[in-house]
Structure 1
Amino acid sequence: MLANFLIGLREGLEAALVVSILLAYLVKSGRHELIWRVWVGVAVAVVVSLGFGAALTFGPKGLTFSAQELIGGSLSIIAVGFVTWMIFWMARAARGMAGQLRSQVDRAAGAGLWSLAVVATLAVGREGLETALFLWATTEAATRQTAGTAMPLAGAALGIAVAVLLGYLMYRGAIKINLTKFFTWTGAFLIIVAAGVLAYGVHDLQEAGFLPGLNTLAFDVSRAIPPTSWYGTLLKGIFNFSPATTVLEATVWLAYFVPTMVVFLRRVHARTLPQPRPATPVPVPTGRTRP
């Protein structure tokens, strides 16, 4: 539940920031009559995201077990790719997001009736589709053990609700959030979550017979951490930890987690370093002497 809460919080806050920037810029520039177009775009993005999530949830139900595992494993790997791209993109583009959106608003305001709605749909819809795909992947892995989707979805819904509230308060100027630290800490946590989703996606492909090594275990700590225990369920729900992990799962987990986390932390460290000031030009003597 905690993992899905943070996913909903992070992705929801990104979408809320986009909407807040669009609305604030329209209000400050005196274009109140265009605000409804932004809300139309947001509504379309929400409907498309919910439809995408429903298709992921109910689409494979009528397929064979092997086909379901193959689709589930493939989509989990795709979800990890999207969320990894999102983590690094947000870390790089957060500072310039407001300027980019304002320039898009200026272009869309004079381009046509629905241009601004399209801008809002694309900006918010990207976050919504990424959220739906990654939440589906984490929830699918968690429900194999907990036999239910209520708790994971409740965590995601709570995270999105908190994000909407924070976005509104930021828009009203009631609170200020250090977005750099927020996206740094949540980004590092999501890398851990994504590594677990990737490993479980590989496990699905092994169960589908697409990848070998299903019976070759790297370790089995099921006696120390029973899958049905509260702490086993907690580890599974947050980190997708499997007490019985195959060699290929462990290898993929390490191959993703170590380089991704190292590169992420290096980029974070590089952003926190003080920028060198330009050198003060030294006057060049002309060779003339005053009488």
Structure 2
Amino acid sequence: MLLSSALIGLREGLEAALVVSILVAFLVKTDKRASLRWVWAGVAAALALSVGFGTVITYTSTQMSFEQQEIFGGTMSLVAVAFVTWMIFWMRATARTIAAELRGKLSEALRLGPVAVVLMAFLAVGREGLETTVLFYANVEAAGQGTTQPLTGFLIGIGTAVVLGYLIYRGAITFNLGKFFKITGVLLIFVAAGILGYGLHDLQEGRVLPGLHTLAFDLSGPLPEDSWVGALLKGFFNYSAQTTVLQAVAWVLYVGLVLTLFLMPRKASTPAPAGEAPARQPVTVKEN
């Protein structure tokens, strides 16, 4: 679970870091540094909401019976899958325009006043925070008790994202964000498929779905989960040595459908007028 948690932390953390960088860079460029405090207030409120939400769902699950915990965990896993699926397609569609959209929203918020700026920053970062909380919770549940790998991987991913976000803002590094989000999107599809399988298994154990003892395969002998290969597969793909038919079918259908749609070529954009350079994928948010 170290690798998948690190990927979640890196992807979600970098999205949030880029959002904050764009907002800060816009205020610096337009000489409205006095409003930075309102942006940071919104960011802090969003982080507090995310931590609070994570605390609530963790505490809630510990007060339940076994079957209730399985149902709750399975439901949260399905919510996490829905979040990550929506997120990768949203970023695929808006990566080229997100900076302009955020600047436009911030300009309007500045016109309305400090409260609007706080709210705008809160909403922009809060969505990423809630997505991250649900994904992290689902990954921790899949890892089981007694391991710190999900937390370790998540902190590594978040820390790397913060550093990359800062370096991009300062102009110290540039890279193709479109390719980055495409590659991480593909990897997250496989992570989400694993979370989907685990969530369905939880619902089967909670007696919401049938087929708990109808196995598609049992590899606990040749490829146990505690072997190095099994641990690697479980850490990234949420591999289960004993996989039910429902889990296997759902995994194949999800990966087959979502991966195909995600990699499907997008419609060509409208050609730029003669003499005008075509739009490029933004690779930096630094404003001079």
- Is 1:270 the counterpart of 2:271? The answer is no
The answer to whether residue 246 in structure 2 is matched with residue 248 in structure 1 is yes
Structure 2 partner of 1:165: 163
Residue pairs, 1:121-270, within 5 angstroms: 121-143=122-144, 147-266=145-264, 269-270=265-266
| Superposed displacement of residue 274, structure 1 | 8.4
1:193-225: CA deviation from partner (whole Å, max 9, x where unpaired): 101100110000000011110000000111111
Structure 2 counterpart of 1:117: 118
User: In the aligned structure 2, how far is the partner of 1:160 from the partner of 1:178?
Assistant: 19
2:266 is matched by which residue type in structure 1?
A
Local SS of the residue matching 2:216: strand
SS at match of 2:217: strand
Q: What one-letter code is carried by the residue in structure 1 that aligns with 2:33?
A: H
Unaligned runs of 5+ in 1: 280-291
CA distance in 2, matches of 1:64, 1:57: 14
Distance, in Å, in 1 between the alignment partners of 2:9 and 2:210 is 34
Q: Normalising by structure 1, report the TM-score.
A: 0.90
State the match for 1:63 in structure 2. 64
The match for 1:288 is: none
State the shift of 1:276 in Å. 5.7
Partner of 1:285: none
What amino acid maps onto 1:166 in structure 2?
A: L
TM-score in terms of structure 2 length: 0.91
Map of 2:37 onto structure 1: 36
Distance in 2 of aligned mates of 1:159 and 1:239: 17
Unaligned stretches of 5+ residues in structure 2: 275-288
Q: Is the 8 A contact 2:225 2:239 kept in 1?
A: no
Equivalent position amino acid for 1:199 in 2: G
2:116 paired with 1:95: no
Number of residues of Structure 1 aligned to a counterpart in Structure 2:
274
Instruction: Describe the shift of the 1:27–1:278 C-alpha distance in structure 2 as closer, same or farther (beyond 3 A).
Output: closer
Contact 2:35 2:114 in 1 (8 A): no
How far apart in 1 are the matches of 2:256 and 2:194? Answer: 13
Q: Which has the larger radius of gyration?
A: 1
CA distance in 2, matches of 1:99, 1:158: 30
